[in-house]
Amino acid sequence: MPEVIINGPEGRLEGRYLHGKAENPPIALMLHPHPDHGGTMNNKVVYAMYQTFVNRGFSVLRFNFRGVGRSQGVYDRGEGELSDAASALDWLQTYNPNAPYCWIGGFSFGAWIGMQLLMRRPEISGFISVAPPANTFDFTFLAPCPASGLMVQGAQDDIVPPDSVKKLVDKLTAQKGIAIGYHLIPGAGHFFTDQVPEMSQAIDDYLEENLPKEDPAEAEATA
């Protein structure tokens, strides 16, 4: 998967990108956990999410927030990281100008940033949030949440208590016009040490049910 360099708000952002094989593939952006706690784009949960979208035919980008790896800048408490994510999405759209739809995925801190980007970019049509830190970060900006999506949580998470995520899901589910999926992975802690395959399967199953289905007539016409 090719390394890419993105012009971010504070300089270079280091990323990994794979272009979908279809003529106009959909796009997806993956966001990593907290920079101050060892989070990088190579986190195994983020990589697994990335691969799940790649296998679904998306053009997919993951990148390091400012100050992580070879990305320039320093940690900015979420404000700068949201700007980084917006720049990464701009880059992704530049190389996929005719993408039919766009998804965002994030793990922990990355899920919080992803949901904020969702509020600011109406072209994002769906999201995957893994272990969103509902106990330590404010999600009240989701009023209302503009798109449907999935939240995946480890049942044995001792960093983000499952109850806090369930309360967030229930609050969002009460809103009209959207549907929030919730999948609890038995035995999984915050980092899904031995349960990454189960997490990936939950995401893939959700995408199978919720991605637009190709029109058979169009498929035959382009065959």
117-129 pLDDT, tens digit per residue, is 999 999 999 999 9
pTM equals 0.95
For the chain, percent helix, then strand, then coil, each to nearest 5? 35, 20, 45
The per-residue pLDDT for 122 is 97
Q: Which residue has the tokens 């969002």?
A: 172
Residue-range definition of the domain harbouring residue 184: 3-222
Classify 219 as helix, strand or coil. Answer: helix
Res. 189: pLDDT tops 90: yes
DSSP state of 213: P
Residue 213 banded pLDDT, cuts 50, 70, 90: confident
Is residue 108 very low, low, confident or very high in pLDDT (cuts 50, 70, 90)?
very high
Kindly state the percentage of the chain with pLDDT values over 90. 95
| Residue 129 burial (C-beta neighbours within 10 Å; 0-12, 13-18, 19+) | buried
Number of domains in the chain: 1
* Mean pLDDT of all residues belonging to the chain: 95
pLDDT per position as a tens digit, 214-223: 754 344 444 4
pLDDT category at 82 given cuts 50, 70, 90 is very high
Q: How far is CA 158 from CA 87, 96, 168, 184, 223, in A?
A: 33, 39, 17, 14, 50
Q: Read off the CATH number of the domain in which 140 is found.
A: 3.40.50.1820
pLDDT exceeds 80 at position 19: yes
Determine the average pLDDT of the residues in 52-79: 98
- pLDDT for 1: 63
* Residue 193 clears pLDDT 70, i.e. is over it: yes
